[in-house]
């Protein structure tokens, strides 16, 4: 069976590292191209030591010509706003793309600009790109040229809420999502708040009322169920490497018992 050739754009961060770990377990794919803006020419195992001997490639600078004929599916692991120009270029060239940034998750350009304060290089695709939760959008994902990989907090909330909202079991206007996350969710670039003495033995709420995953939760549950919701969402940083625990409080709909 012919293997699907995978290219990863922005291959040095935690998202790329986790993607590589999962892809290496897949029997029908091969890693053919890895790019970086900072580690051009560096062997992958130097940046991701856990993959020593498993990815015999060096990072290259991104170029569309290098992906044509070499890559069937690209995983774009760049930050928001930096991702959409490359995703658009790859998709227009006939390469299927899974985008890990937030550039294609929201429904419209007004929402994106409000929450991310950035220009979007591919606004025409917003609202048309399938959200990458196969539990809810499997059919759309299969046929898509671009897939928006879900945000971390929204994944925990959407999977819990969509079945309840679909079945009219809860009040869609009375939802509280309380989430705890590990420090790797903040990415690999060093930041003071993720420094060990700053976060150890501590729990800290952040982005209260302003976190960018709040509209994603509301919009995607609405997209999956056809019913609008309004959830209150507060994330907390806790001193662990990875993982999320979300506790979600809802009010049963009238006539629904526990």
249: burial class by Cβ within 10 Å (0-12, 13-18, 19+)? exposed
Q: Are 8 and 71 in contact (CB under 8 A)?
A: no
Residues in the chain: 258
CA distance 158 to 218: 8
CA distance 183 to 28: 32
Q: Cα 77 vs. chain centroid, distance in angstroms?
A: 9
152 in active site: yes
Q: Which of 233, 211, 207 is nearest to 115 (CA)?
A: 211
Alpha-carbon torsion angle 169, 174, 176, 177, nearest 10: 50
Q: Return the active site residues.
A: 152
């Amino acid at each position: 069976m012919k293997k699907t050739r995978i290219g990863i754009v922005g291959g040095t961060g935690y998202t790329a590292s986790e993607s590589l770990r999962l892809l290496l377990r897949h029997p029908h794919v091969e890693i053919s191209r890895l790019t970086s803006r900072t580690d051009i020419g560096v062997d992958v195992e130097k940046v991701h030591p856990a993959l020593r001997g498993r990815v015999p490639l060096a990072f290259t600078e991104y170029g569309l010509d290098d992906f044509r004929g070499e890559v069937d599916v690209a995983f774009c692991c760049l930050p928001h706003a930096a991702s959409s120009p490359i995703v658009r270029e790859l998709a227009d060239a006939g390469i299927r793309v899974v985008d890990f940034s937030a550039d294609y998750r929201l429904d419209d350009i007004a929402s994106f600009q409000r929450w991310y304060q950035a220009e979007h290089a591919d606004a025409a695709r917003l609202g048309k790109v399938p959200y990458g939760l196969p539990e809810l959008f499997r059919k759309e994902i299969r046929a898509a040229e671009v897939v928006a990989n879900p945000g971390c907090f929204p994944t925990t909330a959407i999977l819990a809420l969509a079945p309840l909202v679909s079945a009219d079991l809860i009040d869609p206007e009375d939802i509280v999502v309380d989430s705890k996350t590990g420090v790797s969710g903040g990415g690999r670039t060093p930041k003071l708040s993720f420094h060990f003495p700053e976060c150890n033995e501590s729990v800290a709420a952040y982005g209260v009322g302003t976190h960018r995953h709040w509209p994603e939760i509301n919009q995607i549950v609405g997209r999956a169920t056809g019913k609008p919701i309004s959830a209150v969402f507060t994330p907390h940083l806790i001193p662990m490497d990875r993982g999320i625990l979300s506790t979600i409080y809802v009010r049963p709909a009238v006539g629904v018992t526990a």
